[in-house]
Amino acid sequence: MNMMTRVGSQGELRRQSRVIRALGSEFVASVLEAGDRQLHRAPLTAALIEGWPDDPSAAALAMRFNAALHALARRGDVADLTALYQREHDDFDRAIGAALATHDGFIVRWMHAPTQTNEVARAAGFAAALMALRARIDMPVDLLELGSSCGLNLNLARYRYELGEVVAGDPDAPVRIAPEWRGMIPVVAPIDVIQARGVDLNPLDANDRRARERLLSFVWADQPRRIERLKAALRLARAHPPALTRADATLWLPEQLAEPQAEGVCRVVFHSMVIQYLGGAARAAVIKAIHAAGARATDARPLAWLSLEWTPGRERVELALTCWPDGARRVLATCHPYGDWFDWHG
């Protein structure tokens, strides 16, 4: 491998390690830094990162790399790597270098598939937004989620939320979500979901052990509370299977929005960390479908759009709510990408 390829392929891991350390994960940052130094031992992986055709940050390429190593550690395929993840030693270069050298093909195959985080902590923002929506439009909601992954956030009405001084949702739920809550206190209102459906190009089944392992591998290994919360949400999804469709969102969404909407029900389109993975044409098609449905909305059959996404320049993550028939848009909060904290504007 020539030096130009090596330097180019290493750059993304090194850059993202700084981002991850700023987000509070010293362990994952160290994994990426060791991967940066040892990547020459995995020529297939290095070539994949170097030749990635689109924006590697938007594709979360470093997170795919990190998840592949976490999956290997969880499987026990590289004993020294498993020991590193279990904090039995701290020689990142030795363990990760060995994993790269012996499992180059596995890492490449893993990285070809998109990220599958399905982070349920983000549901805290959606719950607060739905309560704010209920205070404005006193109706139950019909949820349509884009990029649902395993559909865990379609079960958001079944979770318990501790939002600063506010407790909402199901107080006895086995899934407890308690982010750091900054800013204003959210309004308290019922989270009344009469129907929840989602779409994904490759939906995951909570009953599939391999799907569960894939989701768990994308959780940062130094966040045990996040891992346990995901396990609880997966158990709940097995008891209450989300309604998921395998389809292209640009085709599925217009069909769902064209279905007759019951009077006195607010239809809500929502998504989290999905827009960045859509190409320009797909993104435009989704937005066009939502605005077209918004133009048809009435006071008796309103439409809302909830998005938890990076701003276009990736400066921050915003939770935004747009309501029709008036089409007013508000940024309700800025927040952590995985829902660790919310700065609520109300």
Pairing of strands 166-169, 160-163: antiparallel
Contacts (Cβ under 8 Å, ≥6 apart) of 155: 175, 196, 233, 236, 237, 240, 242
Whether 40 contacts 1, CB under 8 Å: yes
Distance CA 223, CA 214 (A): 16
Distance CA 20, CA 28 (A): 7
Pairing of strands 141-146, 266-272: parallel
Distance CA 4, CA 67 (A): 26
| DSSP 8-state symbol, 186 | P
Distance CA 96, CA 248 (A): 36
Residue range 104-108: average pLDDT? 97
Calculate the CA dihedral of residues 313, 314, 319, 321 and round it to 10 degrees. 20
pTM score, two decimals? Answer: 0.86
Residue 49 confidence (pLDDT) above 90: yes
Taking only the tens place, the pLDDT of each residue in 300-340 is: 999 999 999 999 888 899 999 999 999 999 999 999 998 99
Q: Tell me the C-alpha to C-alpha distance, in Å, between residue 154 and each of 70, 127, 171, 237.
A: 26, 11, 18, 9
Give percent of the chain above pLDDT 70: 97
Confidence band (pLDDT; 50, 70, 90) for 2?
very low
Domain ranges of the chain: 3-112, 120-344
What's the pLDDT score for residue 59?
Answer: 83
Q: Tell me the C-alpha to C-alpha distance, in Å, between residue 158 and each of 18, 21, 241.
A: 36, 33, 12
Taking only the tens place, the pLDDT of each residue in 161-181 is: 999 999 999 999 999 999 999
Distance CA 344, CA 180 (A): 11
Q: In the chain, what is the straight-line distance between the N-terminal and C-terminal CA atoms, in Å?
A: 53
Report the amino acid identity of residue 254.
P
Closest by CA to 114, choosing from 11, 34, 218, is 218
Question: String of b and e for 106-125 (b: at least 16 CB within 10 Å)?
Answer: bbbebbeeebbbbbbbbbbb
Confidence band (pLDDT; 50, 70, 90) for 24?
confident
In 10 A of CB 85, how many CB atoms?
Answer: 18
Residue 3 confidence (pLDDT) above 70: no
What's the pLDDT score for residue 54?
Answer: 81
What's the pLDDT score for residue 208?
Answer: 95
Angle in degrees, 0-180, between the axes of helices 224-239 and 209-217, rounded to the nearest 10: 150
Whether 147 contacts 202, CB under 8 Å: no
